[in-house]
């Protein structure tokens, strides 16, 4: 619970409060179950279910397979995760025309953070006789490659390289001949390549057959020999991103749920990159900020093709993970993550003192503060018509219309925040109850540890989403101050997220 010292500090902030006269208006006050002015933009979930058809159709055209080209230098840094498609539109990285894309600054949380415990042979090479020809992997989630000594077919050296590269779960070792850079330019002067991937691939993906004229005539075209693939035998769950909690997975079903905000394809399975996309996704005007994401791998005809990051403004769970695929597309490695809300019961759904209509100045999760002679200047209602979603909402301004004083609303306990970290306060606000003229004076101040973050003066305004950034001191106190009956302000769906 908020200490008496903290409450006193909050009350002391209201320096501009003055004794208010009773409200003289024909409007029936909220405490008497009056009717909201006839405008309704409360949460509407119609048409917000996962757009599976667009995800599947985009997966059929995205191109994000890669591998070492004949002119790529060895030992390049592992690339940052890039976005290959957004909401059905391919980026440059997903069109196959270039490797550039939207870079996601993430260095962990890949498909599987491997424990070094061995590998298994996935496929063997065709041999090294003069007439033998093979192909190297062109697949998703390519990381980097190095050159090994020609002295021996050094599988152990290749797998040791994989051990030391974050996210590596698969290695493709092969010879590439008639490559001018390998033979005469690169310091290693070796033809033995070791290419690493963050996903497991099969012999069906040995589609790079060489065929380039790298060395001057009469030298022949480049060609591949003895291309073998090795996969890690131990896979574990990726680390959960900061500010999130794992809800389910891995399973072979993707979410088909309401509150859908869109999707992105990633060039590799990266939960941190997906979390960053959720954090920075533009808020839905009706549903608010992204609060949940579902990441999964798409196999098309058994071949890894892309990695889907679907985002939602409503939290769901495994019960809606019912999409196992369509046609040739199969869902694998599906995981769901919810964004941590540091506000307990930000939707006021924990107030359940009745089944139809009731109100209170405080309950276990929230405290409403009125300064004498104010009465019910901050209150919580159980009444669905007043709420943005569900049955609960909060009111600033005398619920009975007894005075014109503002009230202050604060969580019952300080937030479990960490000093120095950045957080985002989000909420929905509405001030339409009394009509356009009487609501003109509506205002709300957002307070963080007693300091005013911002003051909104929306006047007559239907449910509107607001977002403000703050820095934590640790165990921070959030509060909302405002309301001036009959310019009442309703609040709902309050959140504080790690930014």
Enumerate the domain spans of the chain: 4-33+357-498, 114-232
Whether 427 has a pLDDT exceeding 50, the answer reads yes
Please report, in angstroms and rounded to a whole number, the separation of the first and last CA atoms in the chain.
Answer: 25
Alpha-carbon gap, residue 141 to 123, rounded angstroms? 18
Instruction: Indicate the pairing of strand 192-197 with strand 142-148.
Output: antiparallel
DSSP H helical segments within 105-165, as ranges? Answer: 155-163
> What average pLDDT does the chain have?
91
- Say which residues have a Cβ less than 8 Å from residue 402's Cβ, sequence separation at least 6: 22, 23, 374, 375, 376, 485
| pLDDT tens digits, 195-213 | 999 999 999 999 999 999 9
Phi, psi (rounded to 5 degrees) for 433: -55, -45
- Kindly report whether the global pTM for this prediction surpasses the value 0.95: no
Whether 109 has a pLDDT exceeding 80, the answer reads no
Identify the band that residue 229 occupies on the pLDDT scale cut at 50, 70 and 90: very high
From the list 382, 380, 402, the residue with the least C-alpha distance to 391 is 382
CB–CB of 52/256 below 8 Å? yes
DSSP letter string, 20-89: -PPP--SSPPGGGTPPPPS-------TT-S--HHHHHHHHTT----B---TTPPSSPPPPPEEEEEETTE
Mean pLDDT on 275-292: 97
| pLDDT tens digits, 308-321 | 999 999 999 999 99
Q: Which CATH architecture has domain 4-33+357-498?
A: Sandwich (2.60)
From the list 302, 368, 362, 360, the residue with the least C-alpha distance to 331 is 302
Q: What's the pLDDT score for residue 114?
A: 38
Whether 16 has a pLDDT exceeding 70, the answer reads no
Mean pLDDT on 59-88: 94
Identify the band that residue 18 occupies on the pLDDT scale cut at 50, 70 and 90: very low
| pLDDT tens digits, 450-497 | 999 999 999 999 999 999 999 999 999 999 999 999 999 999 999 999
Whether 33 has a pLDDT exceeding 90, the answer reads yes
- What element of type H or E holds 140? none
Structure tokens at 402: 């007894």
| pLDDT tens digits, 379-402 | 999 999 999 999 999 999 999 999
Q: Which range, of 113-117, 125-129, 306-310, 444-448, averages the lowest pLDDT?
A: 113-117
CB–CB of 257/291 below 8 Å? no
Whether 70 has a pLDDT exceeding 90, the answer reads no
Whether 105 has a pLDDT exceeding 70, the answer reads no
Phi, psi (rounded to 5 degrees) for 156: -60, -40
Mean pLDDT on 322-326: 97
Mean pLDDT on 334-344: 98
The number of residues in the chain equals: 499
| E-assigned strand segments in 340-384 | 358-360, 366-369, 378-382
DSSP H helical segments within 121-181, as ranges? Answer: 155-163, 180
| pLDDT tens digits, 50-69 | 999 999 999 999 999 999 98
Q: Compare 94 and 13 and report the one with higher pLDDT.
A: 94
Q: What's the pLDDT score for residue 112?
A: 44
Q: What's the pLDDT score for residue 479?
A: 98
Whether 8 has a pLDDT exceeding 60, the answer reads no
- Residue 232, judged by CB atoms within 10 A of its CB (0-12, 13-18, 19+), counts as buried
Mean pLDDT: which of 35-39, 106-110, 163-167, 284-288 is highest?
Answer: 284-288
| pLDDT tens digits, 142-191 | 999 999 999 999 999 999 999 999 999 999 999 999 999 999 999 999 99
From the list 233, 197, 205, the residue with the least C-alpha distance to 79 is 197
DSSP state at residue 445? E
Mean pLDDT on 244-251: 97
Identify the band that residue 12 occupies on the pLDDT scale cut at 50, 70 and 90: very low
Instruction: Indicate the pairing of strand 292-300 with strand 303-312.
Output: antiparallel
Q: What's the pLDDT score for residue 437?
A: 96
């Amino acid at each position: 619970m908020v200490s008496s010292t903290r409450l006193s500090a909050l009350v002391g902030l209201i320096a501009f409060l003055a004794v208010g006269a009773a409200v003289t208006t024909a409007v029936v006050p909220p405490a008497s179950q009056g009717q909201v002015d006839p405008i309704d933009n409360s949460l509407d979930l119609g048409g917000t279910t996962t757009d599976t058809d667009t995800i599947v159709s985009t997966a059929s055209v995205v191109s994000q397979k890669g591998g070492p080209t004949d002119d790529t230098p060895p030992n390049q840094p592992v690339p940052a995760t890039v976005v290959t498609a957004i909401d059905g539109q391919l980026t440059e990285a997903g069109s196959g025309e270039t490797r550039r894309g939207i870079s996601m600054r993430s260095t962990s949380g890949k498909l599987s953070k491997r424990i070094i415990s061995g590998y298994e042979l996935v496929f063997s090479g065709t041999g090294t006789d003069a007439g033998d020809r093979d192909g190297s992997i062109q697949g998703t989630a390519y990381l980097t490659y190095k050159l090994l000594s020609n002295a021996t077919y050094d599988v152990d050296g290749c797998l040791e390289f994989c051990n030391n590269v974050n996210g590596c779960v698969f290695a493709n070792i092969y010879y590439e001949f008639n490559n001018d850079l390998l033979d005469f330019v690169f310091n290693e002067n070796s033809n033995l390549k070791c290419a690493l991937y963050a996903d497991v691939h099969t012999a069906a993906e040995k589609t790079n057959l060489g065929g380039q004229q790298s060395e001057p005539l009469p030298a022949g075209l480049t060609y591949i020999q003895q291309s073998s693939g090795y996969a890690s035998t131990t896979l574990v769950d990726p680390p959960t991103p900061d500010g999130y909690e794992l809800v389910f997975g891995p399973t072979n079903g993707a979410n088909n749920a309401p509150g859908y905000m869109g999707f992105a394809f990633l060039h590799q399975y990266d939960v941190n990159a997906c979390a960053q996309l959720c954090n920075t996704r533009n808020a839905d005007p009706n549903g608010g900020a992204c609060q949940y994401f579902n990441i999964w791998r798409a196999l098309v005809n058994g071949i890894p093709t892309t990695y889907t990051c679907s985002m939602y403004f409503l939290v769901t769970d495994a019960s809606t993970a019912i999409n196992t695929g369509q046609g040739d597309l199969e869902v694998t490695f599906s995981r769901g993550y919810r964004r941590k809300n540091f506000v307990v019961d930000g939707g006021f759904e924990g107030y359940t003192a009745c089944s139809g209509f009731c109100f209170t100045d405080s309950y276990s999760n929230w405290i409403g503060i009125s300064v004498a002679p104010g009465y019910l200047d901050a209150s919580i209602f159980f009444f669905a018509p007043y709420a943005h979603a569900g049955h609960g909402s909060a009111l600033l301004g005398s619920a009975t219309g007894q005075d014109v004083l503002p009230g202050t609303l604060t969580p019952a306990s300080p937030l479990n925040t960490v000093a120095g970290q950045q957080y985002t306060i989000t909420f929905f606000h509405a001030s339409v109850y009394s009509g356009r003229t009487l609501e003109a004076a509506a205002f709300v101040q957002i307070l963080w540890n007693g300091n005013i973050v911002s003051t909104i003066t929306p006047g007559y305004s239907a449910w509107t989403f607001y977002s403000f950034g703050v820095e934590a001191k640790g165990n921070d106190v959030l509060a909302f101050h405002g309301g001036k009956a009959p310019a009442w302000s309703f609040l709902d769906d309050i959140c504080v997220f790690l930014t």
